[in-house]
Amino acid sequence: MAKTPTHKATATGHGTRAGAVDPVAPVMTVRHYCQGLGDCHLIRIKRDKLDDFFMLIDCGVHSSVSGGPATINAIVSDILSVTKKIDVLVVTHEHVDHVSGFLSAADKFAQFAEIGEVWMGWTENPADPQARQLDKFKGQALALLSQASQRLSAVGGNDGYMANVRDGVQSILGFNFGVKGERVRRMRDEAGKLAKTQPPVYLEPGTLRPTIPGLDDLRIYVLGPPRDAALLKVTDRQSEMYSLASASAAPIAAALQGSFALTMAGDQFVDDPAAPFDWNVGLPLGSLMSAEADGELDRAAVSFLAQHYSGQLPAPPRTKRQRKPVDSNLVDQSWRRIDHDWLAMSSTLAMQLDDQTNNTSVVLAFENTKTGRVMFFAADAQIGSWLSWQSLKWDIGANSVTGSDLLARTVYYKVGHHGSQNATAQAKGLELMTSPDLSAFIPTNQKDAKKVGWGEMPFHGILDALEKKTSGRTVRADDAWLGTGAFPPALQTPTGSLQAVRSGSPLWVEFDIA
């Protein structure tokens, strides 16, 4: 087949990778923004005799990223320089790093001449009973985690273990609150209002979006979020065992709520069904270890506590009554203390909230029906969502398309959840992407991830597998070459689907895909 030269980059001072293109329509141009820990992707598709079609997927940055709101302003300004009309805005899920821009840059979004439709997952539909149940859990969990965060901060920095729990909980809360404490719900709702002529479109897994005028050769498949309530909870960090999370979130939330109620009630009666004993059994720990302790308390308990738990005795009695002396040569047993350890369960609740919210991500696959090639956008979908795609089937005429089939024909993959270790399935995911033409983009910044305390992100196992699968055509948002024009060798040679790569500044990188 004859080849035609690719078009030059429009960015001043930066070039387009040399190469040739396969004259197959439609050609999808994807501009990925590189704001650090956040997602924002502008898709442009050319149409014969019609204006270009534009889809924007998310616009946000994690609240911990320094200068994040200013960067988002620059991103939206750049989008406005490309187009004043967004045909479809996709809000993948309710996390700050995907939706913060709809609030922080609201004045800039108001400058768009038109935003046609807003797509969200069924999980955001207030009229959906299952969505309301999920939303109720999210609201309760956020309230409990906010309270836990305050109490963990009050513990102080001397307890290293609890400090780690505190940092982890606060990191998860960073997905739900903005820099100024704004709730993520408000950010999502601002996005929903941008389509002024109609309410959001709530997407169901296993459906196809209607054909876009002028794009008869493009199919858009909806794979997530899953409807199976169990799969919303499935996570796995090591293998393809895909077991359910080790504990159910609801009992953890109930236990944490009961613990808060008990600590606030003091000596007052509180009916806590999670407590192992009735409220009036035992002695208050605070009284045994405080200056309020006196001779009327159980002396044996005081002595036992000092010798085997706290390593200290309560203050001398305030009255003239004297107690029997207790050995003052006590071994320091304070390392045994678990005064605040009950708060540690908040970290488990935080992770389950995070996992379930990520699994509510809208997942889309774009198929060029002339070539069979697929462009896959997984948002932050985790293992539960990936598993659900295996059972999906679309009947199209006399043929059927399955989730596994779409993965096998994927030539472009927007990597899930910044390349984290539990957001790209192995046997039921990346290993099914068998096209030798595969390329990938990871919206990640390793330095920012370490600052937030996320550890290894992108995860080396996934990164290594992607580099091998793509023959080096895996681009990260923190790659040093972005904006320099010095493209890596793997991106200097065209492939069947990857027609051109551009990077007009460190703020974005752009791919032409057929």
Question: What letter represents residue 454's amino acid?
Answer: W
**Cβ atoms 248, 241 nearer than 8 A:** no
Residue 225, preceding peptide bond in cis (omega within 30° of 0): yes
Q: What is the pLDDT of residue 357?
A: 86
Helix or strand holding residue 28 (H, E): strand 28-33
Rg of the chain, C-alpha, whole Å? 27
Q: What is the pLDDT of residue 172?
A: 77
Give the separation between CA 169 and CA 414, rounded to whole angstroms.
Answer: 27
Q: What is the pLDDT of residue 160?
A: 72
Q: Which ranges in 306-344 belong to alpha helices (H)?
A: none
**Cβ atoms 28, 513 nearer than 8 A:** yes
CATH architecture for segment(s) 14-137+171-246+352-513: 4-Layer Sandwich (3.60)
Q: What is the pLDDT of residue 246?
A: 37
- Spatial CB neighbours of 37, under 8 Å, sequence gap ≥ 6: 61, 62, 64, 65, 97, 418, 444, 445, 448, 449, 452
Where does CATH 3.60.15 sit in the chain? 14-137+171-246+352-513
**Cβ atoms 360, 225 nearer than 8 A:** yes
Give the separation between CA 459 and CA 109, rounded to whole angstroms.
Answer: 34
Helix or strand holding residue 395 (H, E): strand 393-396
Residues 45, 412, 507, 417, Cα dihedral to 10°:
120
Q: What is the pLDDT of residue 395?
A: 95
Segment 309-332, tens digit of pLDDT: 776 555 455 454 444 444 556 667
What are the residue ranges in the chain where pLDDT is below 70? Answer: 1-26, 156-159, 235-299, 311-331, 334, 337-340, 452-455
Give the separation between CA 467 and CA 460, rounded to whole angstroms.
Answer: 10
Q: What is the pLDDT of residue 328?
A: 54
Closest to 249 (Cα-Cα) out of 175, 183, 172: 172
